Amino acid sequence: MKADEWAKKIVGGDVRAASRLMRDIDDRMPWVPDVMKALYPHTGRAYIIGITGSPGVGKSTLVDCLIEHYRARDAKIGVVVIDPTSPFTGGAILGDRIRMQRHSTDSGVFIRSLATRGSMGGLSRSTSDILRVMDAMGKDVILLETVGVGQDEVDVVHTAHTSMIVMIPGLGDDIQAIKAGILEIGDIFVINKCERPGVERMEREIMMMLELGGHRDDGWEPAIVKTEAIKGVGVRELMETIVRHRTFRESPEKKRLFLRKALRIELLNNIRDRISQRVLEEVGQEEGLLSAVDEIIAGRKDLYSKSEEILNGILCE
């Protein structure tokens, strides 16, 4: 099937075609870029909400609540869940679609789990393309839940229009969870499991850290919302805060600045991925790599000279 035919099916909402494309995006199939080029004009309409935080804070339960609230408003929802990678298959090992199975028969909800496959920053390297496919399918809102690795997962700020940091009280040094980069990416801080003791302390600490951080460049004052997601407590207030942030960033200038930063990073990542793939093709995958390694072991080349030799050979071509 031609690329424009694939694109037409996906824009028309064909779930099977979209699922096949998403699988092949993750597997880096060579035909994928042509389809993505055909899909690109049909993207840019969905609103992306990122949900990040340490493991066990209730991110998936919160996502489940948000799906319910958005569906009550008849919004079409996409969900992308980034899971840890299986060391045996390379696939996602948690399978959040099981946790959200009450929505699995809803035709207005499309849920996709992705494996990180070693990618740092809390997202998979395929995430942006998967989000774009859901966007082209006509999803109004896409919920992006990161793997939950803690302080590393800051990539979400360059992908999501609204970034939520989810935390719970009672994990020892509570504020430690939002240091070293996480603090700066949050548009909304959600203190989940607010029935636990220590909620007020955690709220004060977050407020203190935000004040010490000074005013953000975009002028938004990060909000703090307390929830008990498993009972639906505070979810309405969270929805209202998301709407408020979305309204805040809807100005053409803010949209342009966000898009410029996001596309700059995505463009660099795309170039980097293509260079990596080209290098692997040049050295003949594992056999070529082992040959280069043997030269280094034998002392005929050092690590740095061999790297330059491979890269210069590709650039000369």
Instruction: Answer yes or no: are the C-beta atoms of 139 and 20 closer than 8 Å.
Output: no
| Rounded CA separation 144/78 (Å) | 9
Give Cα 86 to chain centroid, integer Å. Answer: 18
pLDDT tens-digit map of 148-206: 644 445 567 778 999 999 988 876 545 554 554 566 678 999 999 998 888 998 898 88
Instruction: Answer yes or no: are the C-beta atoms of 245 and 220 closer than 8 Å.
Output: yes
User: Which of the two residues, 100 and 70, has the higher pLDDT score?
Assistant: 70
Instruction: Answer yes or no: are the C-beta atoms of 83 and 206 closer than 8 Å.
Output: no
pLDDT tens-digit map of 111-132: 998 865 544 444 556 888 999 9
Residue 258: how many other CB atoms lie within 10 Å: 16
Nearest 5°: phi and psi at 123?
A: -120, 160
Amino acid in the structure at residue 29: M
Paired residues of 167 in beta bridges: 191
Nearest 5°: phi and psi at 142?
A: -120, 125
| Rounded CA separation 257/164 (Å) | 20
Instruction: Answer yes or no: are the C-beta atoms of 72 and 103 closer than 8 Å.
Output: no
Ordered structural domains, the chain, with CATH: 43-250 (3.40.50.300), 265-316 (no CATH)
